Structure formats: structure tokens, C-alpha cells
Structure 1
Amino acid sequence: MLGLLREASFRWLWIGRAASLLGMRLADLALPWLLLQSTSSVWVTGAALACDRLAALVLSIPVGVWVDRGSKWKAALLAEALRITATSALAGLALVGPVRPWVTALLLASLGAADVLHIAAFRPLVVHTVGWARLAAAFNLNEGADAVATLLGPLLAGTIIGRYGAGWALAADALTDLLAVVSLLAAGVAASGRQHPEERPYSQPQAAASRDAPKRPGSGAWDGFRYLWRAPLARRLAVAGCLLSTTSVAVGLWGVVLARDELHWDAERTGWIFSAMGAANVVAVLLLGAIGDRVAWSRLFTGAVALAAAGTLVLAAARSVLAVLMGALLLDGALSAAFVLQSSRLTAVTPPDRMARVTVAAGLADDGVRALGRVLAGSAAEVGVRWALLGWGLVLAAASLWIHRWGRFSCWPWAGPSCLGPDRRRSTA
């Protein structure tokens, strides 16, 4: 797995992704803290944070078609440039005076546009850089970058907010985006003229598999949705991804509310919760790298969602620092593993010529539930954050039983060995 970092093109791509993720983790604490201070309303905070998905809902389909037909490197660079602009504006407004929620909502919508463009471009870039055979290892390394960012980002954000204010934490976010742009430029130079064997035209088995796949016009804007609707495993993985994303955004907001309003922690201590999640992510990445090739992915996926449910229930009952940290460790470690399993398998079962469109089709549903999840999370927290955590823990427990019933699905021919975990039986879909 670590051998991929010896290749300059992937190393620079990974560094850029790590920098961008660190900035996002700074904002994950800085933005809700800033809005809660400005509005004193959890519902308004949740509604404002939901606006980062609005642009994604509008732009996902045209962005997917454009990225599939054009340069993935240019699309990724454009996404980072847009993100720098929005985060710099947010930081400047926070530093000069009170922040109005509607202005924050507009800038968050711009960040959402940058995110959908980056997501559509990044997965094809990973395939282009490492090939299909090492796709799972690449996803696990990217999740490792997210784990380290989740470990360090909240500690850094909490310290900056506690001493200087949320505006300076957002300014640090903008600096990480600048580093991401520089890294993407270096990755593009290193990968210039390079093409993996898996990127070349289909072999005969791959062509046969493509003929057997759900039919579609090759460049249709709605092609990604048609594929997700007709391919059983891809459809189930997209639904599971929506569930995981809803969990991520809802628990992120509930964690801040639990620490700030229930436990009466300051910003630095609140950062401990998210850093505990980062530590759990590191453990999950290492564990998944060690056992992923020996355990069926469906069993790993079921176990990860079940452990996430357990962590959510622990948080619902937590009254001490130790209990909160234990719940956060269990929840986000399991959630991290579940995201790797879901995203790598969805990428593996997607035909190469539809990669961006399928990615944004799944992302469009994901963006919708993220926006709705933030609004509902804010509303549920108004009733009681512990009841909200308890209810969602039960939802995740039910989801783990649903995933367990999937059985094992065989890999599609273009996926090669990139699927995590052996699949010894034929698909039951």
C-alpha cells in the first residue's frame, strides 16, 4: 500500500488531497462554532450549513458530462481555485465583523460547487494515476490522509478558535487550499504523458462485460443515473453512501452541540472529540489494510456499519469525557472503514467511460441527503441531542442488518483485484 507513495504523480496527488482534507477539518469545527456564536440557533446553523449542497444539486449533472469529456486535471484545479476564493471570503468576513447567516450560506453554496467538481474529477484521476489493480490501496491511503486530517485538524482548529477566533481558523483553511493547488500542478507535471495499461481501450473480456452492462447512450447526461438504477450492486452502494454521508454530517453537528451545550466544553475541548475521531480513522485504515484482502468485503461492510451504530449509541449515553471520546473513536473509526469499502467498490463496478457521470449521479443523491440531514439534524438537536443520537444509532443498526442480507457480489471484469476483500461466490443480485 505505501509503495504507491514512491510514485511521484500519486504522491503529489495524495499530498494535495491531504492538504484539502486538513482545511475541511478546520472548517468542520470553525463554521458551526462561528454560526452558533452569531445566531444562537442550532436550526439556523444547520440550515446555513446545508447550503453547501445546494449548488451541487444544481450542477452535478452538467459537471459529470463535462468532466467525462474533458481534462480531469483542469477540473480539479478549477475546483481548488473556487474553494480558495470562497474560504478566503469567509475568513475575511469573519475577521472584520459579525457574519450574517445568509452571506455565509451563499459562500457555502460556492464551496459546494467546488466540492462537486472536485469529486467528479478526483476518482478518475486516481484511476489514471494508479490503475485499477491498486485502486483499493489508493482509496485506503486517501482515507489515511483523511484520518490524519481528522486527528490534527480539530486540535488545530480548537486552539486557533480559542486563542484568536474562528476567522483565523478559516484563514488557515484557505492556506491549505493553496497548497492543494500547488500539489495538483506538480502531480500533473509528474503524470504528463503517462497512461496506465488499465486506461487503454478495453480488452476482449472487458468489452464483453461492457456489452452486458446496462445499455446507455455513450455521452448521455443522465447516463450515470440509468446505470445506478439498473445495476443492483451499484444502486445499493449508492443508497449506503447516502446513509453514511447523512451520519457524517448529522453526528458532526450533534457532536458540537453535545460538547458546547450539554457538556459545556470550550472550543479546544470540543476539538478533542473530532481528534478522537481522527485517531480512530488511523486505526481503521491500518486495520483495513491488514485484513482487507482476507475477509469478504460484505462482512467488513456489515461490521463497520454495526460498529458505527454502537458508537452513536455510546455518544447518546455519554456523560464523561472518557465516554464521549470512546463513542467518537468507535463511531468514526467504523465510519471511516465503511466509506472506504463503499467508495472503492462503487468505483470498481463502474465502467471507465462513465466514471464521472456515475460519480456525480451518486453524489447528487448524496448532496441531497447531506443538505436534508443538516436541516433535520439541527431540528432534532432542538428537541434533544441525546434523543437524536439514540434514534440515529437505531437506524444504523437496522442498516447493518440490511447490508448483511446483500450476500457477496462478484467483481466486474474491469475492476480486477481492486475490490476490497475476496468474493468467493457469484453475485446474488
Structure 2
Amino acid sequence: MLLKQKNFLLLWIGQAISIFGTRFSDIAVPWVVLQLTDSPFKTALVAISMQIAPLFLSLFAGIWIENRSKKHVAITAEFIRFLSLIALVFIIMFDYFQLWIVLLIFFVFGAAGLFFRISFQSMLPSIVGREKLLSAHNYMEGADAVGTLLGPALAGLIFTLFGAAWTISIDAFTYLLSALTLCFIALTYTERRKEKKRKVHLNKQWKEIKAGISILFQHHIQRYVTVQHAILNFLTNAVTLLVIINAKEELGLSVTETGLLFSAAGLGNIIGVFLMPVVSRFTWRTINIGLAAFSGTGILLLVMADGFVLSAIGMFLFDGALSMAFVVNGSARQAVTPDNYLARVSSGGLMISGSVTLLGAFFAGTVAEFLHVQVALFSCAVLLGISIIYSLRTKGLKVMLSKLTPLG
């Protein structure tokens, strides 16, 4: 059992705490920006500001992190995220809300998150072993599921009782606790040796960056994983923002009810965690098609919903299936990528994810403000239909996830 391994247990605890806190800001930040600006587009700009650093820095970050201690980089990144949110808390508390300042804060926050994710993803295979990657990702998704079940509902309640500043401050301190758990991770000699620093000239950095990008597209399996990840990240950001806009502007739900909507998504995540061992018996293609179909159905229910209940069912289906898809494709990417390319492939993937996440936020805010929120949601369902067609047309997916090996 992976949780009996000290290093993985510490990683898992830190992520569980951090994810729980993140769900507080996921509700509080868009709600307070929408409340103060009355603009879905400006609300989307805040989400976009978090993705600018991943878009422009991820490739260089991956090369830079490969030559340094992933543990130390991750700890520093978590501390910077803590300071960023504390700055936002003071701005709200002292009623000094300026959109450009908030955008700057979340730019720094997003940059720190980039360095943390690359470090985390690069550490994971060496800590748990390739053969246990699917199980490790499922445990992480379990932490996400519990955080998504409990976090939004509590966030809505605390926001109602104490306001946005106190809600966001809870998230800030979870990053501090996450950094503390990372301090106790003990790397083996082999893991430390892999992180031995080496000088890399600028020309060589560019060559390695190009190699990282080419790996994402040079083989049709890597290309498939890259496209699927792009779709998943686009939908996560777009639909999350659209649900908040729809709840507040169209359905007239309170922040507490909106929090409960996202807790319904968390319930779907938890059920997905328990279903994963059963689902993993099917082929990769079958899993992806089935999950896309369920997630798309959830979005269509969100489009048709005129109140809380149907919206909650839609979120349950959408996020439950989507979270399982993240586990499947995240495990697949790490399984088919050679060890010496993990960090740069991770950074290249984050650059693409950052691009489509930014696009997802821009799409959600623009379409919701200038057309209609339901038009944007329906378009997201159509995108999942395209994903199903791509899965049907891609060769080499009739394989069990546990049988995937690094590509040559």
C-alpha cells in the first residue's frame, strides 16, 4: 500500500491539505471579483493571469528544475504561493481592490504553481516507481475528491459568515502546511544523484527545450495524450468559471449554494476514485470514450438546469468523469515518457496546458459576457464529442494502462 511509504504519505498529506485550501479560493476569488466588477470578462482575466507564467516559462522551468533539487524548488514555490494569497487577503481586508494589483498577484501565484507542479511531477515516478503510477495518481485524485467534496461547501459557508478575506486566508495557510510536509521527505541516494547540478549552456538549453516539445508530438501516442490533456485543462477552467457565473447571474444561487454545487463535483470525484480499479481493467480507448461521454452528459445537464438540483447532478457527472480522465491520461503520459525526459515533457505539457487553460478562461468570460453562458457550456459539451471521435480514430489505444511502457 502506497500510503505506508513515508515519502509518498508526506506528498499525499501535503497535497490533500493544499487541495482542500484551493477549493476555498476557487469559490471566493471569482465570486468576489464578479461581485465587485459585475463583469464575467474581468473575472476571467484574473483566471487568465494565473496562466501567463506557465505559458511563457514552463519550458525553461523544466530545464532549470532538472538540474536542481525538486524538493527544494517545491518548498520555495509553496512558500511564495502562501505570500501571494496573504497579499490578496490584506488588499480585500483594507478595501484596496484594484484589478491590476490582483492580476499581478495571481501572475506570481501562477508562476510559483508552475515550478511546484513540475517539481512534484518529476519527483513522483522516482518515489513510487513506474509500476505504481496509476495507483499514486488515484490516491492523489482521492485527496482532490475529498477536498472538492468538503472544501467548496465550507468555503461558501465561511464566505457568508466571515467574508472573502477569511476564506482566502485559509487557502494561504494550507500552502504553508504543504511546504512543511515537503521538508520531511527524505530522498534516497539514487534520487539525490539524479538531481546533481550540472552547468547547461544557453544553446544546450534551447536544444533540450526543442527536444521536450518534439517528444509531445513526435509519436502518435504522445500526440494523443497531449491533445487529451489540452481538452481536459480547457474544460476544467472554462466550465468551473461558467458554473460560478451561471449560478450567480442566471440561477440566482447564493455563494453557499454555489459551494454545494462544487461539493457535488467532489462527491463524483470520490466515487471515481473507488471505480478506478474496476475501470482500469478496460482498454485505454474504452476508458477515455466512456469518461468523455459521462462528462459531456453532465455539461448538457448544466445547460438545461433551471435550479440547484439538476445543476448539482450535472456537476457530479461532469467532474467525476473528468477527474478520472486526468488520472488515466496523467498516468499514461508518465508511463510512456523515458526517465531522462520527464521534467522537460512535464514542462512542455504544462506550457500547452497553460495555453489552453488561458484560452478556456478567455472563452468562458468572453462568451458569457457578450453572448450567453449556456452557449459557452454547450460548446464545451461539443468539444468532448470531438474528443470521443479522436479516440476512435487513434491507433494503439487498445491496451491496458498497466501495460504501457516508455516509448523509444
Shorter-chain TM-score: what band? over 0.9
CA distance in structure 1 between the partners assigned to 2:206 and 2:106 by the alignment? 33
Report the CA distance between 1:152 and its aligned residue: 1.1
Counterpart residue type for residue 250 of structure 1: A
Would you say the 8 A contact 1:217–1:223 is kept in 2?
A: no
Secondary structure, counterpart of 1:221 in structure 2 = helix
Counterpart residue type for residue 261 of structure 1: E
CA distance in structure 2 between the partners assigned to 1:248 and 1:192 by the alignment? 33
Secondary structure, counterpart of 1:74 in structure 2 = helix
Aligned residues: 396
Match of residue 420 from structure 1 = 401
Query: Which of the residues 320, 331, 334 maps onto 2:318?
Result: 331
Report the CA distance between 1:217 and its aligned residue: 9.2
Query: Which of the residues 250, 275, 278 maps onto 2:238?
Result: 250
Report the CA distance between 1:247 and its aligned residue: 0.4
Query: Which of the residues 379, 396, 408 maps onto 1:408?
Result: 396
1:27 aligns with 2:25: yes
CA distance in structure 1 between the partners assigned to 2:232 and 2:213 by the alignment? 20
Secondary structure, counterpart of 2:209 in structure 1 = coil
CA distance in structure 1 between the partners assigned to 2:122 and 2:207 by the alignment? 16
Would you say the 8 A contact 1:76–1:121 is kept in 2?
A: yes
Query: Which of the residues 305, 309, 329 maps onto 1:342?
Result: 329
Would you say the 8 A contact 2:152–2:259 is kept in 1?
A: yes
- Is the alpha carbon distance of 1:39 and 1:74 closer, same or farther for their aligned partners in structure 2, counting shifts above 3 Å? same
> Comparing 145-154 with 222-231, which one deviates more in the overlay?
222-231
TM-score (norm 2): 0.92
Match of residue 201 from structure 2 = none
1:290 aligns with 2:290: no
Counterpart residue type for residue 15 of structure 2: R
For structure 2, the residue ranges without an aligned partner over 5 or more in a row are 196-203
5 Å-filtered alignment, 1:150-161, equals: 150-161=148-159
Counterpart residue type for residue 303 of structure 2: A
Secondary structure, counterpart of 2:188 in structure 1 = coil
CA distance in structure 2 between the partners assigned to 1:169 and 1:217 by the alignment? 41
Counterpart residue type for residue 406 of structure 1: T
Would you say the 8 A contact 2:284–2:397 is kept in 1?
A: no
Counterpart residue type for residue 166 of structure 1: A
TM-score (norm 1): 0.88
CA distance in structure 2 between the partners assigned to 1:380 and 1:194 by the alignment? 52
Would you say the 8 A contact 1:143–1:285 is kept in 2?
A: yes
Would you say the 8 A contact 1:38–1:100 is kept in 2?
A: no
Kindly report the root-mean-square deviation, in angstroms, between the aligned alpha carbons of the 2 structures: 2.2
CA distance in structure 1 between the partners assigned to 2:219 and 2:211 by the alignment? 12
Would you say the 8 A contact 1:30–1:157 is kept in 2?
A: yes
1:281 aligns with 2:262: no
Report the CA distance between 1:240 and its aligned residue: 1.1
CA distance in structure 1 between the partners assigned to 2:253 and 2:205 by the alignment? 55
Report the CA distance between 1:340 and its aligned residue: 0.6
1:57 aligns with 2:64: no
Match of residue 236 from structure 1 = 224
Would you say the 8 A contact 1:295–1:422 is kept in 2?
A: no
Query: Which of the residues 37, 41, 44 maps onto 2:42?
Result: 44
Match of residue 137 from structure 2 = 139
Would you say the 8 A contact 1:297–1:421 is kept in 2?
A: no
Counterpart residue type for residue 72 of structure 2: K
Report the CA distance between 1:301 and its aligned residue: 1.1
5 Å-filtered alignment, 1:203-218, equals: none
> Comparing 218-227 with 368-377, which one deviates more in the overlay?
218-227
Secondary structure, counterpart of 1:220 in structure 2 = helix
Query: Which of the residues 180, 188, 196 maps onto 1:193?
Result: 188
CA distance in structure 1 between the partners assigned to 2:187 and 2:333 by the alignment? 27
CA distance in structure 2 between the partners assigned to 1:422 and 1:331 by the alignment? 28
CA distance in structure 2 between the partners assigned to 1:217 and 1:194 by the alignment? 26
CA distance in structure 2 between the partners assigned to 1:16 and 1:55 by the alignment? 23
CA distance in structure 2 between the partners assigned to 1:178 and 1:114 by the alignment? 13
Match of residue 104 from structure 1 = 102
CA deviations 1:309-347 (Å, max 9, x no partner) are 111011100113221111010000110011111111011
Secondary structure, counterpart of 2:337 in structure 1 = coil
> Comparing 77-86 with 219-228, which one deviates more in the overlay?
219-228
Secondary structure, counterpart of 2:330 in structure 1 = helix
